[in-house]
């Protein structure tokens, strides 16, 4: 009996947390945030990469765009993080936190056309 009450209490708590997260439009704390990834990418990556939005005026033509990177076959968030942490020349090593890396990966994966 007690166990049942506790379990439904937890479920209710989870639903409330989810509802709160949806209401603010932000992911739960600690979850990768593609919007934060986009904001940071606009500052740090647009010298070279064409990123998602249409507002970007120029980028380096020899550098893969973020949508191209996202749509590579079998692309995963983990691969994207690995490529940022251990970049291939001429991409520079950019010091980033784990959260920032996860946000970039979430943002780039959000540009993927196919599931
Ligand atoms: C100085 C230019 C430059 C900047 C700034 C830069 N990149 Fe790159 N990036 C490159 C180049 C060039 C490549 C292609 C390297 C290669 O040949 O694979 C690349 C490749 C990548 C790849 C791997 C693509 C693949 O083929 O899988 C990812 C992911 C990536 N960049 C993410 C980022 C992110 C995120 C940022 C911003 C934090 C960033 N880059 C900033 C030049 C840059």
25 touches ligand 1 (CB under 6 Å):
no
Same domain, 44 and 73: yes
pTM for the model stands at: 0.79
> Rounded to whole angstroms, how far apart are CA atoms 76 and 108?
10
Mutate to test the pocket of ligand 1, among 41, 42, 49 (most ligand atoms within 8 A of CB): 49
Same domain, 49 and 17: no
> Rounded to whole angstroms, how far apart are CA atoms 42 and 108?
12
Atom of ligand 1 nearest to the CA of 37: 35
Same domain, 46 and 99: yes
Cα torsion angle, 65, 69, 71, 73, sign:
positive
Domain assignment of residue 67, given as a range: 32-109
The CATH number assigned to the domain holding 95 equals: 1.10.760.10
pLDDT tens digits, 17-41: 444 444 456 667 779 999 999 999 9
């Amino acid at each position: 009996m007690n166990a049942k009450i506790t379990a439904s209490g937890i479920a209710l708590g989870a639903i409330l947390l989810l509802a709160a997260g949806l209401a603010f439009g932000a992911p739960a704390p600690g979850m990768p945030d593609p919007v934060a990834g986009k904001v940071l990418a606009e500052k740090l990556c647009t010298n070279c990469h064409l990123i998602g939005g249409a507002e970007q005026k120029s980028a380096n033509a020899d550098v893969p765009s973020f949508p191209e990177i996202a749509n590579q076959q079998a692309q995963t968030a983990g691969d994207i993080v690995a490529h940022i942490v251990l970049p291939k020349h001429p991409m520079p090593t950019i010091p980033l936190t784990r959260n920032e890396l996860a946000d970039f990966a979430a943002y780039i994966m959000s540009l993927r056309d196919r599931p």
